[in-house]
Amino acid sequence: MGIKAYWFYAGLSQVYDHIVNPGHWTEDMRDDALAPAKLDDPNLKVVDVGGGTGFCTLGVVKTVKPENVTLMDQSPHQLAKAKAKPALKGVTILEGDAEDLPFPTDTFDRYVSAGSIEYWPEPQRGIREAYRVVKEGGLACMIGPVHPTHPVSRFFADAWMLFPTEEEYIEWFTKAGFTDVKMTRIGPKWYRGVRRHGLIMGCSVTGVKPKAGDSPLVMGPKAEVSGKMNTNPLSFLLNLILGTAAGFYYFCLPIYMYIKNLIWPKNWEM
C-alpha cells in the first residue's frame, strides 16, 4: 500500500461506518448488490477482497457460515474495525493485496469485492486475480462506482479516485476469462437512477469461471511499487487538497439528492 493510501484509510476507518455508509452504501444497497453473487449456501467458501471495516462481509455472513468466510484488506486501520464486530467472529481476517492475492488457485466458491476497485492501481490485474482464486463454476462479484457524466461530478471523481465506466467493468471481466458476465445497477431507494453523478456504489458485476486454473489473460509485472511516495511536496499538497475537496463534494452530494427527493419525489415528472 502506498503512503498516501495508508494515511487516507487511517482517517477513513474512523468515520466509514457512520458517515460514508449512510449516504453511499446502505444496507439495502448492499443486499441488492450481493444478490447476484448467489450466496445461497451456508457452506460456500467466500472471500471478501478489500473488505475494509467488514460492512460488506456482514452481508455475506447473513447466509454463509462465518468460518467459511475470509475478509482481506490492505489497511490495518480498516481491519481493526472489522475485528471488533461481534457478527464477524469466526471470519478469517487478514491483510493482503487485491492485485496479488495470497491464496492458491481455485480456492473459493465465491469472490466478492465492494467499494475497493476504485483504489486499485490496475483493476484488470485485480479482476484477473479474482478469476484465479475462484473455483471452476464459481462466481465473482465486483461492486463499485460508475463514472459520472455530469461535468462537476466528473471533475471531482477524476481528482479523487477511479470511477470506471460500465463498459470497462464488462471488458475487464471478459478479458480475465469470465463468462456469463452480467451487470446490475444499484443505488439507494431514493436515488432517481440517473447515472450522471456516479454515486460511490453504482453497479454490481458478476462473472462465472468456466474452467479450473489460472486466468487466460497474461500480464506483465505490477506497475506500482508498494510504499513508493511522491517526493514532490507541491504535487503531494495539491493532490491532498483536491482529494479532500472531492471527498467533501461526494459526501454532500447524496445529502443534496436525498433532500431533493423529499421536495421533488422521483415519481414526479421531471
150-171 confidence digits (pLDDT tens)? 777 777 777 767 789 899 999 9
CB 74 within 8 A of CB 96: yes
Check residue 242 and give its pLDDT.
73
Cβ neighbours of 264 (radius 10 Å):
12
How many whole angstroms separate alpha carbon 107 and alpha carbon 41?
Answer: 16
Q: What is the mean pLDDT of residues 217-228?
A: 72
How many whole angstroms separate alpha carbon 113 and alpha carbon 51?
Answer: 7
Q: Does position 19 have pLDDT exceeding 90, yes or no? A: no
Question: pLDDT: is 264 or 4 the higher one?
Answer: 264
Q: Does position 6 have pLDDT exceeding 80, yes or no? A: no
pLDDT tens-digit map of 225-259:
444 445 577 776 776 677 677 767 777 777 777 77
Question: pLDDT: is 14 or 89 the higher one?
Answer: 89
CB 131 within 8 A of CB 176: yes
Cβ neighbours of 222 (radius 10 Å):
13
Q: Does position 200 have pLDDT exceeding 60, yes or no? A: no
Helix (H) or strand (E) holding 136: strand 134-144
- pLDDT class for 193, splitting at 50, 70, 90? low
How many whole angstroms separate alpha carbon 174 and alpha carbon 171?
Answer: 5
Q: What is the mean pLDDT of residues 64-92?
A: 96
Question: pLDDT: is 125 or 1 the higher one?
Answer: 125
- The label of the residue with cell 490496475 reads 122
Spell out the CATH class of 3-216+226-263: alpha beta
Check residue 27 and give its pLDDT.
87
pLDDT tens-digit map of 98-145:
999 999 999 999 999 998 998 899 999 999 999 999 999 999 999 998
179: helix, coil or strand? strand
- Mean pLDDT computed over every residue of the chain: 83
Check residue 266 and give its pLDDT.
58
| Cell numbers that stand for 134 in this block | 475462484
pTM of the model: 0.80
At how many degrees (to 10) do helices 3-15 and 76-83 cross? 30
**In the chain, which ranges are continuous DSSP H helix?**
3-15, 21-24, 27-34, 55-60, 76-83, 123-133, 151-160, 166-176, 233-263
Check residue 15 and give its pLDDT.
47
- pLDDT class for 267, splitting at 50, 70, 90? low
Check residue 82 and give its pLDDT.
95
